Amino acid sequence: MAKQKRKVAMPAGIRNKMMAAVSMLLVSSIMMVSSTYAWFTLSTAPEVKNISTTVAGNGSLEIALMPTSGNLTEIKAGAGNSSESDGMSIVNANTSWGNIVQLSDASYGLNNINLLPAVLETTADGGINLTTPVYGEDGRIAQTSTAKAGLGTWDADAAKFVVNDQYGVRAIGLNEGTEFSTYGYVVDLAVRLNTANGTTAGKLLLQTDAVQRISGSVNTETMGGGSYMQFAAVQPGIDLKGLLDSIRVTFVQDYGKASGTPTVVGTACLDTTNIAEGKTELTSTDKIPLKLYTITTSTSTGEDGKTTTKTTKNESTDNTLIQALTKNAATQISAIVWLDGAALTNASVAASTLQSMAGTLNLQFATDVTLTPATNTALMNPLA
């Protein structure tokens, strides 16, 4: 038998009290929403408190390619690893402060430069340049010509070097009518150190051994290569050791500046200690270390009246290029790459072709200051 629903009559007093309570609940809800809306609308000075913050400053040695104008103040900041992955082209990244300069771009024209025998000369007025040689009977330089080599940059449209004194990467050679004959090249760099070693800024050193460009990094992409040359193409039958011993990288501070006197701060040569006499081949993986040397050239005249020039080089015990960088100030240092004709004989060059060998140069610098990098886990350890 189905149960019948029963209505329970609520006393009027209780019913009125419940209706009042429900009404108050609705009113309080409306007031809460209204007050919240008013807080966002009417506040003119919102505040964020108690956010934990750590600011880390790092000491670093930075490098850049000199802008074409030669104006150090035009070097841009913040290129970081100075590569295309940073969102800019290599050419633009090179003239920004970073930890690497890459000169593989075809616009620099380095693949079109031949090193021909020359002599590096300094003049009384502070000039530093290559002079072209005049050869004696023994194949060595007997004297240098009065025509000094000039500077040129690569013109991609004309597919040749043209006379131009812009900074950056420049061929050194002679402008012979429609042809610019190259003898060497110069790479204009800028370095900056933003920390000090005690009361003085740190030294700039030539780093021969490969080391990390970023202190404490385990990222293979930030691993430097050291200073060396590597050759992939060698013509057979040449005195390989003699040719390698004749290559020079001369570092000059303030090269080509209108104001200030350019100063040779060091000359690097290839360490051919492990190159056997008579060796005629190199593999593409052979890396020949580049070190600073003290070079002396002496000239003697034999009984037959012929002049003989002898070059002696001794490895330097100090790899310092600049004794003290000014803290937080950019300093220009240029690397002139050339072939010392005074140390070269005909046996060291190929007789039937212009190029005796071809390869690449790697330069790495360092400082004697202990640098503490800012923490950048993604860059220093991409697997972390």
Give the model confidence (pLDDT) of 147-169 as tens digits: 567 888 999 998 989 888 889 99
Q: Check pLDDT > 90 for residue 301.
A: no
Q: First vs last Cα of the chain: how many Å apart? A: 76
In this predicted structure, the answer to whether residue 256 has a pLDDT above a threshold of 70 is yes
Q: Is residue 178 part of a domain?
A: yes
Average pLDDT rounded to a whole number, residues 219-244: 84
- On the question of pLDDT at 170 being above 70, the answer is yes
pLDDT-derived band at 29 (thresholds 50, 70, 90) equals very low
pLDDT tens track for 47-74: 676 675 555 455 678 899 999 999 999 9
What local confidence, expressed as pLDDT, does residue 132 receive?
Answer: 74
152's tokens: 């040129």
Please name the residues in contact with 225: beta carbons below 8 A apart, sequence gap of 6 or more.
210, 287, 362, 364
8 Å CB contact between 256 and 71: no
Within a domain: 333: yes
270 band by pLDDT with thresholds 50, 70 and 90: very high
User: What's the mean pLDDT when you consider all of the chain?
Assistant: 77
Strongest mean pLDDT among 55-59, 274-278, 376-380: 274-278
The reply to whether 53 falls in a domain is no
Residue 47 resides in a domain: no
pLDDT tens track for 303-328: 666 666 677 888 999 999 999 988 88
Give the pLDDT confidence of 334-358 residue by residue, as tens digits.
999 998 887 877 777 777 677 788 8
Q: What is the pLDDT of residue 150?
A: 81
Render pLDDT for 101-136 as a digit per residue (tens, 0 to 9): 888 889 999 988 888 888 888 766 667 888 877 766
pLDDT tier for residue 36 given thresholds of 50, 70 and 90: very low
What are the residues whose beta carbons fall under 8 Å from the beta carbon of 91, sequence distance 6 or more? 105, 107
Question: How many distinct structural domains can be found in the chain?
Answer: 1
Residue, of 222 and 166, whose pLDDT is higher: 166
Q: Residue 129, Cβ neighbours under 10 Å: how many?
A: 22
Asked if residue 50 is part of any domain, the answer here is: no
> Residue 34 — pLDDT band, cuts 50, 70, 90?
very low
Q: pLDDT band for position 277 (50/70/90)?
A: confident
Q: What percent of the chain has pLDDT over 90?
A: 22
Inside any domain, residue 3: no
Separation between Cα atoms, residue 323 and residue 261, nearest integer Å: 17
Does residue 203 belong to any structural domain of this protein? yes
99 vs 191, more confident: 191
- C-alpha pair distances (Å), 267 with each of 8, 88, 132, 290, 349: 110, 33, 19, 10, 22
The better pLDDT of the pair 245, 43 is held by: 245
Query: What domain range is 214 assigned to?
Result: 62-380
User: If DSSP codes are grouped into helix, strand and coil, which group holds residue 313?
Assistant: strand
Q: Is residue 329 part of a domain?
A: yes
